[in-house]
Amino acid sequence: MTPTDLNKLRSEIDAIDEKLVELFNRRARCAQEIGRFKQQKHQAVYEPQREEAVIANVTRSNRGPLPDEELVAIYTAILAAMRRLRSPNLLEPPDLLERK
């Protein structure tokens, strides 16, 4: 691999990351809508069965090279973030931004 190849791959990763951020925010907006609906209907924000179904769907669609265990760890963090977004008082967000 040449330095040019490395730069191309890094540029591709940067572009993918930008798309991921866009998709995460799109997912977050959906989660907020769900949260508003659940609040109006006085329903619980946390539904373990739904989160289990999300994890099952994600691992079922995984074709690698990312191992299922890593994907589950990523989605566990995503689901927790979405849960906090729907109901900020349910779980306190980590201080990740303060560590930078």
CA–CA dist 79, 85 (Å, integer)? 10
CA–CA dist 83, 78 (Å, integer)? 9
Q: What fold characterizes domain 3-89?
A: Chorismate Mutase Domain, subunit A (1.20.59)
pTM > 0.85: no
Per-residue exposure over 82-99, b if at least 16 CB sit within 10 Å of its own CB, e if not: bbbbbeeeeeeeeeeeee
Domain ranges of the chain: 3-89
Q: What is the pLDDT of residues 63-78, one digit of tens each?
A: 999 999 999 999 999 9
Per-residue pLDDT at 44: 87
Per-residue pLDDT at 88: 62
